[in-house]
Chain A
Amino acid sequence: MKRSVKLDIFEQHDHVTYYSFTYSDEESCAFDLFLDAWDDDDHKEDIDIILSWIDKMGLKGADDGMFRPEIGDLKALPIDTSILRLYCFKVTEGIVILGNGAEKTTRTFNEDPTLNAHAMNILSIGRILRSLIKNGTVSANNNELFGLKKITFEAI
């Protein structure tokens, strides 16, 4: 199914600008949907860790080592303390897209349809963005994306 998303700046930090994306048929961006779903009493510590880590990374830059590795530039937070996964796409060391996520209860994310959709959709969005940067349609300067309108992709 083809879906379109709009990417917007979620927050700017000294060394990283965090973006998130909003589907054309939804009102909240993916990261807000993640917080809506998981920022509750049972997951307070996980969300505390994720937010602290976002702040830490914002100060240092989005080094590969600061994420849980998934597939290429598809990354996840938090690292090793929880089964909650927030999927991210690292565009550059200064630009990170925050997506949606869920608890990982299966061995791989592919085995869980919800988790798989969150992971693969942000990966598709990130890959298209990467190709738009490569062909010059979008530029990534000073931790910001320019020339970006919307991205349409084959969503899961």
Chain B
Amino acid sequence: MKKNSRLEKRRTEISDDVKLFVNKSFEIVEQISGFLNERGLTQKDLAKMLGKEESEISRWLSGTHNFTLKTIAKLEIALKSPLVCCKKQPIREYNIFISNPSVQFVMKGIEGNSQKTPSSYMSGVYISGSATTLDPKLFN
């Protein structure tokens, strides 16, 4: 496949946020189009539901529209489907065993966000799993 050397070089300078913006825009538009198809609705129907001109909806669905959260909220209500989901980090319980004194208690931490605890607090402490923060007071 023929590639253009000027574009190939220029591509390396594309910022990550633009790449992500274009991908997200595309995903949102695909989702909206998918929901419309599923429900047998047209852009005209969506325009009516949102009190907008069909041309505006057409522009939204053309790709790199800079959707505001407000617009996304209106679309989600009209389509009765979520378009943007914020992934909640799962809360996990961790058992911490302290050898001396022999005390056992439970802490809650967020998976994948482990943070190193100062070693002075760690002597004689064995932690199963990782925690976001460890309160030094717990070890006094």
Contacts and interface: CB of A to CB of B under 8 A. Distances in A.
Interface stretch (B1-9, B73-81, B98-106, B128-136): B1-9
Given A49-B22, A69-B58, A11 B2 contact: yes
B52 interface: no
Interface string A46-79: 0111011111100000000111110000000011
Q: Which of B4, B10, B13, B65 has the most CB of A within 10 A?
A: B4
Contacts of B70: none
> How extensive is the interface on chain B, given as a class?
20 to 34
A9 interface: yes
A45 interface: yes
> How extensive is the interface on chain A, given as a class?
20 to 34
B14 A48 contact: yes
* Closest A-B pairs by Cβ, 6 of them: A48-B18, A12-B1, A52-B22, A79-B64, A79-B63, A80-B65
Contacts of B11: 51, 55
Interface string A25-53: 00000001001000100001101110111
Given A35-B6, A53-B63, A80-B64, A65 B15 contact: no
Interface of B: 1-4, 6-7, 10-11, 13-15, 18-19, 21-23, 26, 29, 33, 58-66
Given A65-B29, A65-B33, A79 B62 contact: yes
Interface string A123-148: 00000000000000000000000000
A66 B22 contact: no
Given A9-B2, A65-B29, A65-B33, A52 B14 contact: yes
Contacts of A52: 14, 18-19, 21-22
Given A49-B21, A49-B22, A65 B61 contact: yes
Given A45-B15, A52-B18, A80 B2 contact: no
A78 B64 CA distance: 7
Contacts of B1: 12-14
A11 B7 contact: yes
Contact of A67 (B4, B26, B62): B62
A12 B3 contact: yes
Contacts of B65: 79-81
A56 B26 contact: yes
A80 B18 contact: no
A23 interface: no
Given A45-B15, A68-B59, A69-B62, A51 B33 contact: no
